[in-house]
Amino acid sequence: MSATTLGHQGVLAVERKEYETAIAQLDKALESSTSPAWLLARATAHQQLKHYDAALRDAELAYHVAAERGSGNSRRQMIDAQYRRSVIYFRLGRYADSDCCARWSMRLAEGCPVGEDDGIQDKVDERGNYTVTYEDGVADCKGQPGQTSRDSTGEKVYGLLGSGSGSEGTPKTGFEKEWKRAYSWRSMALGSLGRLPEDDPGRKVSVTKVPPRPQAKTDKKPDPEPTVEDDELEEKPTEPEGPAPGSVPDEKLKLRADFYQSAQNVTISLFVKDAKKENLDVKFSRNQVQISPLARAAAPYVKPGDREATSTFILDGEIDPSKSRWSVTPRKIELVLQKAAPGVKWGTWGREEIGALPSTDSNDAKLATTTPAPSQAASASSAPVTRAPATAGASPAYPTSSRSGPKNWDKLGEEEAGDDEDKSDVNSFFKQLYKGATPDQQRAMMKSFIESNGTALSTDWEDVKNRKVETVPPEGVEVKKWE
């Protein structure tokens, strides 16, 4: 039986509350693949059977594997992993730790950055007791996705279930159910915490947002009673947050990139979420671009200064650093690089290397412009034209009423040839744009171009897939049906 089949059957067995059977099946499945979904299912089974050490190990490993994979389900699995940690710590009577994990699950469900440090684990008094109260937890629901309304004064009022939803709600993240689940569990943890004696160990915080990565383990149960060796292990200092440097392969750290080019520029889109413009350090040189710090989907716990937080983009051609620029959106970093040799076609944009590499150019320029990068077409069309000064042997430029100034009729053939080259370059630009697009972008371009009779071109498939793209003729032109 394949690992996929065993894993699926194990998840179903957990849903049927057949926990012993589920653990046996998931043990075999996890020998082939450390799937976060299977780890979370086995954590639930171990928790229900009160194998809390094994359950906690599976939940923590699921968090790390989900963060490293960076797939479409990673955030949901990380939310579930933090929630499972909260439940396990609650069962162990560690209510302060339980509340911290529930809060981290809520923050992920709100769409907050994975690497955010909210400092909740540091809210302790001089005795080391956790100071967050039940009332604090109940009131802490401002970030609930999609649940805002307005009171009689027009002010926004945040609440859980009773506040209703007004016309202006906070953005929905798709994790509303997970948020409410963690919020409810948090109220239980804080309620139990408030009833503990002041010197109870359950008031102490001993967790971190990113848990130390446990080693994969296939044994079904821990020993029922802790041994001396286990006690000694518990007294050891905790490992630093995140895996050791280099534990994530460089290929997994690299960003997805796309590019297109014109005669003047090369535009590179680096797809990275939650990049903050004010935090980025971007350095251009003639043959490379260096960016730091980058939020990695596969390693969200890297910090500025870590090798993994920096990328060096080795370019396929040379650029003019002083005329190159960059901009940031919530989902990507865009580099607009001016070619050192305009008109030369690059075969590709280049490659990404993890870490800071020395540049062969001594004139590195750090740019931090806040002006959004203009479109490629605008850059090409607005490039300044350099006119050679008139010399003694040059042909005269006759007077003209043209807005472009005097025309040298002896150069007419050369100007017409230049026009043909410009037209050819426009065609090349659109070919490169289509070639470098994703399948969804290509579908959007074909659909919008055909349905609009060549008057509109969109690369947003989500925008055009469910509607007909209308014909938008140029100003002064009337659309008529061909009979």
What pLDDT does 483 receive? 54
What pLDDT does 162 receive? 37
- Does this model's pTM top 0.75? no
What pLDDT does 167 receive? 38
Spans of the chain, pLDDT less than 70: 71, 147-170, 215-247, 360-429, 474-477, 481-483
What pLDDT does 102 receive? 92
The torsion angles phi and psi of 178, rounded to 5 degrees, stand at -65, -35
**CA end-to-end span of the chain:** 64
What pLDDT does 93 receive? 92
What pLDDT does 454 receive? 78
* All residues at 6 or more sequence positions from 47 whose CB lies less than 8 Å from its CB, including other chains: 55, 84, 87, 88, 91
Distance CA 272, CA 300 (A): 11
CATH T-level topology, domain 3-235? 1.25.40
**pLDDT tens sequence across 206-247:** 999 999 888 655 444 444 444 444 333 333 434 444 444 455
What pLDDT does 466 receive? 87
Domain boundaries, the chain: 3-235, 250-375, 437-483
**pLDDT tens sequence across 373-431:** 444 333 433 344 444 444 444 444 444 555 555 555 555 544 444 444 444 455 666 77
What pLDDT does 246 receive? 52
What pLDDT does 476 receive? 61
What pLDDT does 458 receive? 81
Tell me whether residue 111 is exposed, middle or buried, using C-beta atoms within 10 angstroms of its C-beta: 0 to 12, 13 to 18, 19 or more.
middle
Please list, residue by residue across 186-213, b when 16 or more beta carbons sit within 10 angstroms of its beta carbon and e when fewer do: bebbbebbeebeeeeebbbbebebbbeb
Bridge partners of residue 130, in order along the sequence = 124
Question: Do 3-235 and 250-375 come out as alike in CATH topology?
Answer: no
C-alpha distances out from residue 226 to 236, 336, 395, Å: 15, 60, 98
What pLDDT does 320 receive? 93
* All residues at 6 or more sequence positions from 92 whose CB lies less than 8 Å from its CB, including other chains: 52
CATH of domain 250-375: 2.60.40.790
| Other CB atoms within 10 Å distance of the CB of residue 348 | 13
